[in-house]
Amino acid sequence: MRSARRRYTGSSESIPDNSSTQERKIQHIQIIVDEKTQYRKKTTMLELVEVQPNGGAIAPREVDIESELLGKPVLAPMFISGMTGGHPATLEINKNIAMAAARFSIPMGIGSQRSMMENGDLLYTYAMKKFAKELILIGNIGASKLLIYQDERIQEMIDSIEADILAVHTNPGQESIQPEGDLDFRGVLKRIIEVANGIRQPVIVKEVGNGISKEVAARLDGKVYAIDTQGAGGTTWIGVETYRNKSKYGDAFWDWGIPTALSVLEAKSAFSGPVWASGGIRTPLDIVKAIAIGAERCGIAQPVISSERKGGSEGVYRFLSETSEGVRKEMARLGFSSLKELAKAKVTFKDPLKSALIDRNIKL
Amino acid sequence: MIDSIQFVHCAIPDMALSEADTAYRLSEGFTLPCPMAVQASSESDAVQLSGSGAMPSVFQKSVFVGGKLAGRLQSSQTVEVEDGLDAARAIRLLGNSVLPCIKRTDADKAGMLIRQLRIAMFLTNSINIGALSQAPIYRFK
């Protein structure tokens, strides 16, 4: 294992050290944990999904919730959405989450590696395999940042932390409200596809809380490994930026976005690869419903970081244990013995989710 | 009524926010620099508002741009909106026979409201108002 505390040097591009990016990371964590930056009027719409029981209830011990990802076993249909990294204070958070995720053999995302690209000294805040060798680690970079960096530099960025997957996050909503936001997305889609072809690791495209539509999913179909919806209903990053910047115009967009359940169904209707559900996933029943409508696995963020802040790595492990046991119990109650069975469940939809699906010509 | 629709978010727009062209051609055939106007309290107020502000102004059926009469509404209706996102929704729902208007008391917020409209255009990948009026929506019942 190489030392994670070495400096990341990058290569050709010269990007100045940007300490404001680092400070923003810390502000984000504080705001998410302490403040009310959840959607106000919008939910995930998972409450409008009903999973029909598969015969009678079975015993929880008969339920298998394991799956595989890139040939590695995953013990529960969850992953930890990327949240942080890039500030010395985020090391402890990522380390605590990584150790718990590895014990549970579930994938873990990290926050945007942009800080590390700007200041190589920060690599150690992302390089979690030093603490959890078996961890399935998901690297992370903003879609608009792909316009700045060549493929070789992206490959170095991923390899330097030994990430197994690269998540490319697209966040035009958040960028619109950030005073320092990137508001030029011309060529971003083309660049995502180039990078997906140009690096060794699989690429996932994820939103940051506003969801992926079927139009966007169709443009990514066959081009990237997976989509992570990160739909509306949980933390709103437009809300986080509105709060952080006391934005005058952000409030109107606080509830902007596609609810998570709707986004999973939109993405599944146009994308043939795996669709991961995240955005407001809070309970075991949320996870069961998301899988029943087509998600391969579910991402959780805010409850994980809250658990970490309260109880460190043990707090995260306890949360993951309780949630996965809850998934097993919900599946047992509904009579599903495996995730494959659950993926074929009969589901019904209530309005307004049902009418939205009809409007959008999405098969029920 | 405007609240009954929501835009479908475009996670990967193929444009820059600065490219969003807000020029708005009303069904009467005259074009405004943006599809929002300030509701003036008199004709002289309308002339003054549109001459010094960022937005056209309207008094009764007369629409002013840059301190001058730009045209008169015949079949088009004004509809009161609270912010730029509301204005975008009104256009998407009702087409170019509607002129979204803000209250006279909100005239000093004109720049911010136009910014909101441009954000709505960016997040729906709408390069101009014509594209915005065709952008995918949900009609939540």
* Minimal Cβ distance to B122: which of A183, A352, A355: A183
| pLDDT value of residue A286 | 98
Which pLDDT band, with edges at 50, 70 and 90, does B108 fall under?
Answer: very high
Picking from A178, A213, A271, A361 by the largest number of B CB atoms within 10 A of its own CB, the best residue to mutate is: A213
Contact A355 B115 (CB under 8 A): no
Look at A166 and A28; give whichever has higher pLDDT. Answer: A166
pLDDT tens per residue across span B87-107: 999 999 999 999 999 999 999
pLDDT exceeding 90 applies to what percent of chain A?
A: 82
Contact B139 A355 (CB under 8 A): yes
pLDDT tens per residue across span A2-20: 333 444 444 433 333 455 6
* Tokens (6 digits) for B90: 């009104």
| pLDDT value of residue A28 | 72
| pLDDT value of residue A34 | 61
pLDDT tens per residue across span B2-18: 888 999 999 999 999 99
Burial B54-69 (b: 16+ CB within 10 A, else e): bbbbbbeebbbbeeee
Distance CA A254, CA A163 (A): 33
| pLDDT value of residue A36 | 77
Domain residues for the domain of B75 are 2-136
Supply the mean pLDDT for chain A.
92
pLDDT tens per residue across span A194-210: 999 999 999 999 999 99
Q: Measured between CB atoms, does B123 come within 8 Å of chain A?
A: yes
Domain assignment present for B69: yes
**Closest B-chain CA to A45:** B140
Q: What does pTM read for this prediction?
A: 0.93
pLDDT tens per residue across span A289-328: 999 999 999 999 999 999 999 999 999 999 999 999 999 9
Domain of residue B107, CATH code: 3.20.20.70
pLDDT tens per residue across span A72-94: 999 999 999 998 999 898 999 99
The count of domains in chain B is 1
Domain assignment present for B79: yes
Domain assignment present for B122: yes
Distance CA A165, CA A296 (A): 16
Going by the DSSP 8-state scheme, the letter that residue A228 receives in this structure is E
Let me know how many helices (H) and strands (E) chain B has, helices first.
4, 10
**Which residues is A184 bridged to in the sheet?**
B16
Give the torsion sign (CA, A68, A73, A76, A81). Answer: negative
Which pLDDT band, with edges at 50, 70 and 90, does A363 fall under?
Answer: confident
Distance CA A321, CA A78 (A): 11
- Residues in chain A with CB shorter than 8 Å from the CB of B10 are 172, 213, 215-216
pLDDT tens per residue across span A139-158: 999 999 999 999 999 999 99
**Is residue A168 scored above 70 in pLDDT?**
yes
| pLDDT value of residue A32 | 66
Q: How do beta strands A298-300 and A78-80 pair?
A: parallel
* Minimal Cβ distance to A258: which of B9, B15, B112: B9
* Tokens (6 digits) for A164: 């197994």
Domain assignment present for B21: yes
Contact A184 B141 (CB under 8 A): no
* Minimal Cβ distance to B16: which of A173, A185, A210: A185
Picking from B2, B6, B12, B82 by the largest number of A CB atoms within 10 A of its own CB, the best residue to mutate is: B12
Nearest in space to A80 (alpha carbons), one of A236, A206, A215:
A206
* Minimal Cβ distance to B12: which of A143, A262, A352: A143
Domain assignment present for B141: no
The full set of domains in chain A, from first to last, is: 40-359 (3.20.20.70)
Contact B11 A252 (CB under 8 A): no
* Minimal Cβ distance to B12: which of A183, A216, A352: A216
Nearest in space to A166 (alpha carbons), one of A148, A187, A192:
A192
**Is residue B51 scored above 60 in pLDDT?**
yes
CA distance A65 to chain B (A): 31
Three-state SS for A269?
helix
Q: Are A351 and A48 in contact (CB under 8 A)?
A: yes
Which ipTM score applies to this complex? 0.95
CA atoms within 13 A on the CB side of A165: 27
Q: Measured between CB atoms, does B111 come within 8 Å of chain A?
A: no
